[in-house]
Amino acid sequence: MIDYQKFAPKNMSVKERRKLDVGDIFSNSATCLICNDTIRSKNRHDFQTCKCGKLSIDGGSWYPKRSFKKEHSWKDNIELYEIMGETIS
């Protein structure tokens, strides 16, 4: 599993990102407020779970998927790419 932040910097153009299969989310991260663990999904299929197991995230640069066992027990830390734009097919 390769962390897309390693090859797709925050100011990379949409066109270049799509060539590398990278979406619009630069940092897909969330913090569990129960165990205070911050996790980040580093790839579309990189499923991460916090230390206490109450929060899981997925989706990498493409979609911010969150699964949680307790409501209001986590916060998002999403950072988008600086250059946004229409989807290029």
- Using CB under 5 A, list all residues that contact Zn ion: 32, 34-35, 50, 52, 54
CB count in 10 Å sphere of residue 67:
11
Q: Mark 13-45 as b/e (b = at least 16 C-beta within 10 Å).
A: ebeebeeeebbebbebbbbbebeebebebbbbe
Which CB, 8 or 32, lies closer to Zn ion? 32
Closest to Zn ion by CB, 42 vs 54, is 54
Shortest approach of Zn ion to residue 70 CB, angstroms?
Answer: 9
The neighbour count for residue 61, using CB atoms within 10 Å, is: 24
Question: C-beta of 63: minimal distance to Zn ion in Å?
Answer: 21
**Nearer to Zn ion (CB atom), residue 38 or residue 80:** 38
In angstroms, what is the minimal distance from the CB of 10 to Zn ion? Answer: 27
